[in-house]
Structure 1
Amino acid sequence: MSALLKQAVAHWRYVAPLLTPPQNEADYDALVEALDELLDEVAGIENHPLSALASQMGDLIAAYDAHHYAIPEAPGHEVLRYLMSEHNLTQSDLPEIGAQSVVSEILNGKRQLNVRHIRALAERFKVPADVFF
C-alpha cells in the first residue's frame, strides 16, 4: 500500500463524515456546520489546499437539498405573489412592473410577465430570473 493510502486509511474515520452523503437531517446539519467552519478557514482563497474539500461538501449538501427540499414549479405570477407577500408589498409597490392595474392583471393570470418585468423583478428580489418561467 502506498504512503498516501496509508495516511488516508489512518485518518479516514475523521475525513469520511465530510465526504459521505447525509442520510438524515442530523447528518445534513452536521455537514452544513462543518462546511460553514471550513469556508471561514478557506476565506475565499481559490487555491487554498482545502478548497476542493469545501467544493465536494457543497456538492453533497446541494444534492441533499435538491432531493429533500425541491422547490415546486409555479407560474411566474404565483412566484411574484409569494415574493410580494414575503416582502409585505402591495400592487402599488411595484412601479418597475407598471401601474397597479398591470400588476393586478399579472397576479390574476390575465397578463404574462415580459422580459423587462422579469429582469426588474429578479434584480429587486435578488433571485434568478428563471424562477419566473
Structure 2
Amino acid sequence: MHTLVEQATQHWSYLAPLLTMPTDDIEYDARVEALDELLDLIGEDESHLLASLASRLGDVIEAYDEERRPMPDVSGVDVLRYLMQEHQISQSELPEIGAQSVVSAILAGRRKLNWRQVCELSERFGIATDTFKESSPTRRVAG
C-alpha cells in the first residue's frame, strides 16, 4: 500500500483541484470543462481507468449545483409546457399524448397524464418518467 500512497502523493497536486468543491462559478466552469474532456476520452467504456475520476468529478459538480443553483419546484404540467416551448412544439404535435384536445385538457388541469403518455414523453425528451409524476404536488427540473 505504501507505493500507492506514494504515487497518490506525487500526483495529488494535479487531482486535488478536480476533487474539491468549487468556491465560485469560475472554478465550477473549469470542473465542468474537465469533466467534458474526461467523458470525451472515456467514451462508453465504463471500465476505463479514468471512469471513477469522472464519476467523482460529476459528484463534485452536482453538489455545487445543489448548493448554489437549486432547481425550482415545478409541476409535471409545467415541465410539459416548458418542453413544448423549448422544442417549439404545438399541442397538435404531441402524438405521445393524443389529440390536441387531450393535450389542451392536460395543460388546463382537467385531465392527468396516464402512464403510457408519461413513458412516451420520457422517451421522446430523454428525461425521467418521475418528472411527470402527479402523485406529488411538485418536482424539480432543470431549465
What TM-score, normalized by structure 2, do the two folds share? 0.80
Greater relative CO, 1 or 2 (CA 8 Å, sep 6+): 2
TM superposition shift of 1:3? 4.2
Q: 1:49 to 1:111 in 2, by over 3 A?
A: same
- Give the superposition deviation at 1:39: 2.3
How does 1:117-132 map onto structure 2 within 5 Å? 117-132=117-132
Within a 5 Å distance, the mapping from 1:1-133 to structure 2 comes to 2-133=2-133
Distance 2:99 2:33 in 1: 45
Structure 2 stretches of 5 or more lacking a match? 134-143
Distance across 2 between alignment mates of 1:101 and 1:10: 65
Taking structure 1 as the reference length, the TM-score comes to 0.86
Compared with structure 1, are the counterparts of its residues 22 and 93 closer, same or farther at alpha carbon in structure 2 (3 Å cutoff)? same
Deviation at 1:30, TM superposition (A): 0.7
Percent identity at matched positions?
Answer: 55
Aligned AA (1:90): S
Structure 1 or 2, whichever has the larger Rg, is: 1
How far 1:98 sits from its partner (Å)? 1.9
Aligned residue type for 2:102: V
Which structure shows the higher helix fraction?
Answer: 1
Q: 1:48 is paired with a residue of what secondary structure? A: coil
CA RMSD of aligned residues (A): 1.8
Q: Which amino acid aligns with 1:131?
A: T
35-44 or 52-61, which deviates more: 35-44
Residue type at the aligned position of 1:60: V
Letter in 1 for 2:114: N
Q: Which amino acid aligns with 2:115?
A: V
- Rounded to whole Å, the distance in 1 between the matches of 2:97 and 2:3 is 63
Number of residue pairs the alignment of both structures matches = 132
Query: 1:59 and 1:51 mapped to 2: Cα distance?
Result: 12
Letter in 2 for 1:29: D
Moved over 6 A (4+): none
